[in-house]
Amino acid sequence: MRFPRPGRLVVAATVSAALLPAGPAGAAPVKGLQDQEMTVNVPGLTGAFYTDARAAKVGMLRFNTSWDGRATAPDAGQVARIRAAIEQGVARGIRSVEIAPNISGDASFNPRGRRKGPTAASKVSSRSYTTYIRALAESLDGTGARLYYAPINEPNWYRHIPKRGGAALYRKLHGIAYTQVKRVSSRNRVLFGELLPYDRPLSRNYPNGQSTDAGTFTRQVLGLTSRWKARGSRRTHTVKADGVSLHTYDFKADPRRKRRDRDDWTQGNLGYARSDLRKAARTKRLPAKAARAIHLTEFAYKTTGSDRISTSRARTYLKRAWSIARRQKVRSFVWYQLRDPQSTGESWQSGLKTRDGGTRSTWTTFRGLR
């Protein structure tokens, strides 16, 4: 969920047929919120979260679980708190929930110390994951919510899955998740992707870069050329999915502006993403129904740090981002953080409200989105 400042942006002078809006605006996306501090980590804030969620007509919640790449069972305490939060949401009419495990290892798992996550794909056990994801789905079954599972959060970020062998590993984990989650309940949905939008630059600590952009990673997983044509074994590279999940952050950019690289699946490039996913579906390696069902499961504008923009600008950009999502017939639109975190040391701050619950104009705008 941490990204660098946006790269070069351009306003498209002309729009090709492939990038025209996906028809007249139809039904609005399901509006979603994720604030794990308020719903899971600090029980005293849960009531306030659901009061605001109801005022904003929120229909979807999102939660992350933690997995170190080796454990065969989810953290029982964390999952119990998530289940309780889901049940509270269901009691208030929120029927859709997305679950996305994060891979984050400790220092012994990652010899590089502070930088969490595996140093090689071989450090992630697919056998352990099979047991883990099945146990997670069983633990959250029966709440009354429609559950959407993303097998791994942001698999194109090397902090979660390393670059070398990462696409093949993700494809394997995705296949495992689809099978195990569906065995628990056929009502469960499994989303392909959960992709951060763009490649992150080289640095002293990351000489091989930090991530792969969403379009390139998708082609790597599906075994497609740069022109979205099939290569390699169809059996090996075909995935099953009920939808596609994207994180379309582009913090300081007007969401109407397009990046030059169409593989950067930001909000401004959402038309590119939809068009290219349809190309992928034509190869039969991604279901057509999944290519049509795009979910934006993380979106926000930061309130602190180098990527911060003013609240008034964030309010304007939020309106534009929502309008784009609606034109592109996106299924859900989840804002990350209702309030800024209680800890002032938390580097990610993107609350629609202040940490003490004070209203920002972005909250008023979010609440009024229809």
How many percent of the chain have pLDDT more than 90? 80
Residue 4 confidence (pLDDT) above 60: no
Confidence of residue 21 (pLDDT cuts 50, 70, 90): very low
Residue 290 confidence (pLDDT) above 70: yes
Residue 242 confidence (pLDDT) above 70: yes
Quick one: which of 338, 321, 344 has its CA closest to 37? Answer: 338
- Summarize pLDDT for 68-89 with one digit per residue, the tens: 999 999 999 999 999 999 999 9
- Indicate the residue type of 75: D
Task: Flag the least confident range among 30-39, 88-97, 120-129.
Answer: 120-129
What is the spatial distance between Cα 45 and Cα 356, in angstroms, rounded to a whole number?
10
29-368 — its CATH code?
3.20.20.80
Residue 213 confidence (pLDDT) above 60: yes
Separation in Å, CA 80 to CA 34, 86, 87, 148, 256: 17, 10, 11, 18, 41
Confidence of residue 8 (pLDDT cuts 50, 70, 90): very low
- Contact (Cβ atoms closer than 8 angstroms) between residue 342 and residue 37: yes
Average pLDDT over residues 290-299: 98
Q: What is the pLDDT of residue 26?
A: 64
What is the spatial distance between Cα 254 and Cα 250, in angstroms, rounded to a whole number?
8
Confidence of residue 164 (pLDDT cuts 50, 70, 90): confident
Average pLDDT over residues 175-183: 98
Q: What is the pLDDT of residue 122?
A: 75
Q: What is the pLDDT of residue 123?
A: 82
Residue 7 confidence (pLDDT) above 90: no
Confidence of residue 114 (pLDDT cuts 50, 70, 90): very low
Q: Which of 96-110, 115-129, 198-212, 304-318 has the highest mean pLDDT?
A: 304-318
Q: What is the pLDDT of residue 200?
A: 81
What is the spatial distance between Cα 195 and Cα 100, in angstroms, rounded to a whole number?
11
The Cα angle at residue 6 between residues 5 and 8, in degrees rounded to 5:
135
Tokens of 203: 């640095």
96 CB-near residues (< 8 Å, 6+ apart): 30, 32, 59, 60, 61, 145, 146, 148, 332
Average pLDDT over residues 29-57: 97
187-217 burial, b if ≥16 CB within 10 A, otherwise e?
ebbbbbbbbbbbbbeeeeeeeeebbbbbbbb
Quick one: which of 359, 348, 317, 353 has its CA closest to 338? Answer: 353
Residue 11 confidence (pLDDT) above 50: no
Q: What is the pLDDT of residue 340?
A: 97
Question: Mean pLDDT of all residues in the chain?
Answer: 89
Q: What distance lies between CA 184 and its chain's CA centroid?
A: 23
Residue 36 confidence (pLDDT) above 80: yes
Confidence of residue 203 (pLDDT cuts 50, 70, 90): low
Comparison of pLDDT for 4 and 323, the residue scoring more:
323
Comparison of pLDDT for 25 and 34, the residue scoring more:
34
